Amino acid sequence: MTAPNMDVLVSLSKRRGFIFQSSEIYGGTGSCWDYGPLGAELKQNIKRVWWRDFVQQRADMVGLDASILMHATVWKASGHVDNFTDPMVDCRECKHRFRSDQLDEMAWLHFCPATKGNKFTIPAGEPCKHCGATRTLCPHCGKGELTAPRQFNLMFKTFMGPVEEDAAVTYLRPETAQGIFVNFDNVLQSMRLKLPFGVGQIGKAFRNEITPGNFIFRSREFEQMEIEYFVNPNDRVDGRPADEAVHDQWIEACRAWFVRYGVAADNMKLHEHDTAELAHYSKRTVDILYRFPMGWSELMGIANRTDFDLKQHSKFSGKSLTYFDEERKEHIVPFVIEPSAGVDRALLAFLLDAYREEEVRGEKRVVLRFHRELAPIKIAVLPLLKKRPEIVATAHDLRARLARQWTTVYDDTAAIGRLYRRQDEVGTPYCVTVDVKTVGDREKNEAGDGRVTIRERDSMEQIRVPIADLDTVFARLMGETAWSEVAAAYPRAES
Ligand code: ATP
């Protein structure tokens, strides 16, 4: 497998319409990203399968879409106003700002006294090979002293209403979770739920990160897919306290979900938070790390938040946020397990894992081996000759017909070999080619056979399929049926 470096992916993403830098014509922001036509499809697909698998298909889950702007007290109660901070340091020379807890994870610039002050960029955490020094100064300019760390709140402040005064201050939500906690009772009562149950939500979150970077890995505006799964801590599951057993179940469900949609199992590993790392509300937190180009980093986290949030909101709002345990005839505050994933980080992992550089007949082929459900385009309809009106008309008709069910494009802007490569590069699993044999040749008095060629992306195999069969064939291919099984029923075409 060829793991691309981030630059390769950034360039492919821009060239092929996946991801653009926000406000690029004004020099870009560097901390926000725009999803282009294919990126928007890919992102929608990720969110759609997540919602389907975790919210719609489970009897114990419901969905929610809470607002981004909330009552300011929500963030006081949740602890974000006081605790949602990162330690920040400044360089006294170049004025760059850093998270002090990330300094050792950065490559650093060094003017080496042992080599007459020559400038070197030294890998993160390593000493200088020539003089043995370790980093003490600013990693960016290599000259400035760093200030002592001070806590910086990551929430974006804004004002609700037309008056910019303290009374109107609120925040852009830094996580979607709190929208679920404050609606706990609304959801419980309106849906008549019984524990255990979960509430899923997908939406934007905003953090004024000190050092955004690594492409879409860390940005200031991003999207989250979060679940708050409520359990009765007095229940036992598999002989263990329910919250602990259910926590393990969710860790495995999340890991398996990424594998199901194409992330190689050995590109992920679990990271258990130790006491020093554990958030103040958490009994146990496990991160799923992914092997990103900059090293193992958090893809998502699964935390046992206990009854902290419901108790806090109950305390600050004066409203009871309890559940009546019929069996024990008592009111309890449920514990909550929170699987929290970033849509953008998931998308980055799916992109990285799908990326392959292969050699085909002496030429390099770049292919994104996306899972068919994630692929932004499912089918590309390509005319072999764009000068033949019957071929073009048939291809347009086919595109319109297939587009009723699947994301389908028509492309006639290059020769067929190049069109195939373009579709490979954006991960389109199937191409349908209309050629002379399909429509026949009137001048030669030859009738068409009414068949088209279907080409599969990964094997590059081609089969001839009657147009009348296309809907059934694609319904099977987009479902669980393997290409080899479908292909076995049809004659092979020359590639
Ligand atoms: P990190 O340690 O990387 O800052 P975190 O532990 O603060 O992340 P959580 O608060 O657990 O992150 O948020 C849940 C998920 O939301 C993360 O696992 C990640 O996928 C996503 N996420 C968090 N911050 C960002 C960001 N700035 N940009 C993109 N995704 C993010």
Three-state helix/strand/coil letters over 387-428: CCHHHHHHHHHHHHHHHCCCCEEECCCCCHHHHHHHHHHHCC
Which pLDDT score, from 0 to 100, does residue 332 have? Answer: 97
Which pLDDT score, from 0 to 100, does residue 102 have? Answer: 87
Task: Kindly give the distance from the C-alpha atom of residue 460 to the centroid of ligand 1, in angstroms, as a whole number.
Answer: 38
Q: Spell out a b/e string for 60-97, using b for 16 or more CB atoms within 10 Å of the CB, else e.
A: ebbebebeeebebebbebbebbeebebbbbbbeeeeee
Task: Kindly give the distance from the C-alpha atom of residue 234 to the centroid of ligand 1, in angstroms, as a whole number.
Answer: 31
Cβ-proximal residues to 391 (8 Å cutoff; 6+ apart), any chain: 383, 384, 385, 434, 435, 436, 438, 439
The rounded distance, in Å, linking the Cα atoms of 211 and 105 is 12
Which of 99, 222, 299 to mutate for ligand 1's pocket (most ligand atoms within 8 Å of CB)?
Answer: 222
Which of 102, 218, 223, 257 to mutate for ligand 1's pocket (most ligand atoms within 8 Å of CB)?
Answer: 218
Instruction: Give 140-153 as a DSSP string.
Output: TTSSPPBPPPEEEE
The rounded distance, in Å, linking the Cα atoms of 379 and 400 is 11
Which pLDDT score, from 0 to 100, does residue 432 have? Answer: 98
Query: Whose C-alpha lies nearest to ligand 1, atom 20?
Result: 342
Nearest to 158 by CA among 239, 67, 77: 67
Query: Whose C-alpha lies nearest to ligand 1, atom 26?
Result: 218
Q: What are phi and psi of 89, to 5 degrees?
A: -125, 155
CA end-to-end distance (rounded Å), the chain? 24
Task: Kindly give the distance from the C-alpha atom of residue 228 to the centroid of ligand 1, in angstroms, as a whole number.
Answer: 16
Q: How far is CA 314 from CA 175, 181, 259, 320, in A?
A: 19, 10, 38, 6
Which of 345, 347, 348, 350 to mutate for ligand 1's pocket (most ligand atoms within 8 Å of CB)?
Answer: 345
Which pLDDT score, from 0 to 100, does residue 61 have? Answer: 98
Query: Whose C-alpha lies nearest to ligand 1, atom 23?
Result: 342
Which of 32, 202, 224 to mutate for ligand 1's pocket (most ligand atoms within 8 Å of CB)?
Answer: 224
Query: Whose C-alpha lies nearest to ligand 1, atom 27?
Result: 218
Task: Kindly give the distance from the C-alpha atom of residue 342 to the centroid of ligand 1, in angstroms, as a whole number.
Answer: 6
Task: Kindly give the distance from the C-alpha atom of residue 263 to the centroid of ligand 1, in angstroms, as a whole number.
Answer: 19
Query: Whose C-alpha lies nearest to ligand 1, atom 13?
Result: 340
CA dihedral of 336, 342, 345, 351, whole degrees rounded to 10: 100
Which pLDDT score, from 0 to 100, does residue 3 have? Answer: 64
Query: Whose C-alpha lies nearest to ligand 1, atom 4?
Result: 218
Which pLDDT score, from 0 to 100, does residue 165 have? Answer: 83
Tens digits of pLDDT across the chain (495 residues) = 556 899 999 999 999 999 999 999 999 988 999 999 999 999 999 999 999 999 999 999 999 999 999 999 999 999 999 999 999 999 999 999 999 988 988 899 999 999 988 999 999 989 999 999 999 999 999 999 999 999 999 999 999 988 888 888 999 999 999 999 999 999 999 999 999 999 999 999 999 999 898 999 999 999 999 999 999 999 999 999 999 999 999 999 999 999 999 999 999 999 999 999 998 889 999 999 999 999 999 999 999 999 999 999 999 999 999 999 999 999 999 999 999 999 999 999 999 999 999 999 899 999 999 999 999 999 999 999 999 999 999 999 999 999 999 999 999 999 999 999 999 999 999 999 999 999 998 888 888 899 999 999 999 999 999 999 999 999 999 998 999 999 999 999 976
Q: Vertex 11, ends 9 and 376: CA angle to 5°? A: 65
The conformation of residue 5, written as its DSSP 8-state character, comes to P
Q: What are phi and psi of 16, to 5 degrees?
A: -105, 15
Does residue 174 have a cis bond before it (omega within 30 degrees)? no
Task: Kindly give the distance from the C-alpha atom of residue 203 to the centroid of ligand 1, in angstroms, as a whole number.
Answer: 13
The total number of residues shown for the chain amounts to: 495
Which pLDDT score, from 0 to 100, does residue 4 have? Answer: 81
Which pLDDT score, from 0 to 100, does residue 285 have? Answer: 98
- Is residue 249 within 8 Å of residue 304, measured between CB atoms? no
Pocket of ligand 1 (CB under 6 A): 175, 207, 209, 218-219, 222, 224, 298, 300-301, 340-342, 344-345
394 sits in the region (left: phi over 0; alpha: psi -120 to 50; else beta) called: alpha
- 212 Cα nearest atom in ligand 1: 27
Which pLDDT score, from 0 to 100, does residue 163 have? Answer: 83
Task: Kindly give the distance from the C-alpha atom of residue 396 to the centroid of ligand 1, in angstroms, as a whole number.
Answer: 44
pTM for this model (two decimals): 0.94
CA 294 from centre of chain? 17
The rounded distance, in Å, linking the Cα atoms of 448 and 35 is 42
Lookup result for tokens 């495995």: 252
The rounded distance, in Å, linking the Cα atoms of 179 and 74 is 9
Which pLDDT score, from 0 to 100, does residue 355 have? Answer: 97
Report the relative pairing of strands 430-434 and 379-383 from DSSP bridges.
Answer: parallel
